[in-house]
Amino acid sequence: MTPPLWTAFDIAAAVDGEVHGDFEATGVAFDSREIGPGDLFIALSGETTDGHRFLDKAYAAGAAGAIVSQTANGPHVRVADTMAALNALGVASRARVQGKVIGVTGSVGKTGTKEALFACLDRARPGKIHRSVKSYNNHTGVPLSLARMPADTRIGVFEMGMNHSGELAALTRLVRPHVAIVTAIAPAHSAYFASEADIADAKGEIFQGLETGGTAIIPHDSPHRDRLIAAAQPYASRILTFGLTRDADIHAQEVIPLERGTLISLVLPDAELTFTIAPPGDHWVSNAMAVIGAVWAVGGDLAAAGLAFAEMEGLPGRGQRSRVPVGDGEALIIDESYNANPASMAATIKMLGEEKAERRIAVLGEMRELGAGSPDYHAGLAGPLREAGVDYALLVGSEMGHLANALEGRIDFAHVPDAGAALESIETLLAPGDAILIKGSNAIGLSRLVERLRSRADAVERTACST
């Protein structure tokens, strides 16, 4: 029988609370919509809503108990401050785990790298690896992900994000990683930083939480490599760089594009590994080097990690691929709708250019939080689009007007104000044999286009099942 994740008295001891009704919890959530039978509900009070309003709903959904700062009509632990209690529960969870912990940050590739790490490690030790779900990487998501970690976890993998200086320093001291990865530095959240070097400094804060004997993993080919190394040196016992040149501690000896994915021969400090990366694109070669380096650093099974990479599929919003019926054929949908910045845009546009297709279509939503450089960053995508041989671009959002001006007379395009207008255009746009990249900042809502297009396949499947 699986032991409970938390008992009421364990929770009370961790958060300095008072038990009202004994209970055992098998999960943790602070969103009442995510509550399932046996979960602990943490009633957070925010600027726009108060979780205490949803206590009855949580209990009705099967919550075993709750952490509250007000009266509750079910089993609960009462505290003075529920947000402080969430942090304390995360700290207590991290303290009781005797296994290794890996932390991941970077301007691009955080979630993909975190998911790849989980797949690579879980293949060798199924059921003993824990990771943060979705993109729970901020001041509430990180302690929640820690609080969800079972006590017998052998390796935990946590994504950490930031958009202001000082945020990662606080998160990494909660996570206390044995291995800390910076995937890449790029102009994301530029509205909050004076320069890309300042972004590198903020990302380098992840090393401040390293456990004694910890390892820092840093992109060798980044112009900010030395800055990141300097940030790691006071905290890391070992610093590993990864990159395409032989000067990197972890480097690719050979990279061979395949019809589906990439074959890579990787050299580590005392090992070599040749494996296939199923997700396509140069950015996945970089992610894979960081992932394999971290697996090696925690003593993981490199062969199992290589097999996991060969089996890996894209994530929704981050590279998932679907074929949908169009006329008497199909179109390929590449779903990158969750997030976008100049570096990830250029990488995925290049990937689109490598697809064999009748037409290559890019549906691009504006990139948010780029500050004063936003016009140039948007206009700068014209070069990658031309180099990739993109046949048509559907540009979504006001900031994409700068790209529209740069594309005038160069490739065919349309510029629409929002995702709703893009929805109206997409159905008439498609033809058999098309490859369509859909990418933009999450707030633009391009995931609705992906859902619309995927509904075609669902409709065909339902028709086939009923006949």
**Minimum mean pLDDT among 25-29, 229-233, 316-320, 323-327: which range?**
316-320
Q: What is the arithmetic mean of pLDDT over 126-131?
A: 96
pLDDT tens per residue, range 422-432? 998 888 889 99
For all residues of the chain together, what is the average pLDDT?
93
Axis-axis angle for helices 302-311, 282-297 (nearest 10): 150
Q: What integer pLDDT is reported at residue 339 of this predicted model?
A: 86
Instruction: Give the C-alpha separation, 107 to 46, whole Å.
Output: 27
Q: How confident is the model at residue 136 (pLDDT cuts 50, 70, 90)?
A: confident
Instruction: Give the C-alpha separation, 184 to 201, whole Å.
Output: 12
Q: What integer pLDDT is reported at residue 21 of this predicted model?
A: 96
Q: What angle do CA 47, 49, 51 make, to 5 degrees?
A: 120
pLDDT tens per residue, range 382-418? 999 999 999 999 999 999 999 999 999 889 999 999 9
pLDDT at 69 > cutoff 70:
yes
Helix (H, G, I), strand (E, B) or coil at 71: coil
**Domain 320-466 fold:** Protein-Tyrosine Phosphatase; Chain A (3.90.190)
pLDDT tens per residue, range 186-227? 887 677 788 999 999 999 999 999 999 999 999 999 999 999
Structural domain boundaries in the chain: 6-86, 97-311, 320-466
Of the candidates 82, 159, 170, which has an alpha carbon nearest to the alpha carbon of residue 118?
Answer: 159
Q: What is the arithmetic mean of pLDDT over 225-248?
A: 97
pLDDT tens per residue, range 288-332? 999 999 999 999 999 999 999 999 988 788 888 999 999 899 999
Q: What is the DSSP letter of 287?
A: H
Name the pTM for this structure.
Answer: 0.85
Q: What is the arithmetic mean of pLDDT over 50-73?
A: 95
CATH of 97-311, one of 3.10.290.10, 3.40.1190.10, 3.40.50.720, 3.30.750.24: 3.40.1190.10
Q: How confident is the model at residue 460 (pLDDT cuts 50, 70, 90)?
A: very low
pLDDT tens per residue, range 431-446? 999 999 999 998 999 9
CATH superfamily of domain region 6-86: MurE/MurF, N-terminal domain (3.40.1390.10)
Q: What is the 3-state secondary structure (H, E, C) of 162-191?
A: CCCCCHHHHHHHHHCCCEEEECCCCCCCHH
pLDDT tens per residue, range 322-365? 999 998 999 999 999 988 999 899 999 999 999 999 999 999 99
Q: How many CA atoms lie within 13 A of 447 on its CB side?
A: 13
Q: How confident is the model at residue 457 (pLDDT cuts 50, 70, 90)?
A: low
The reply to whether 97-311 and 320-466 are identical in fold is no
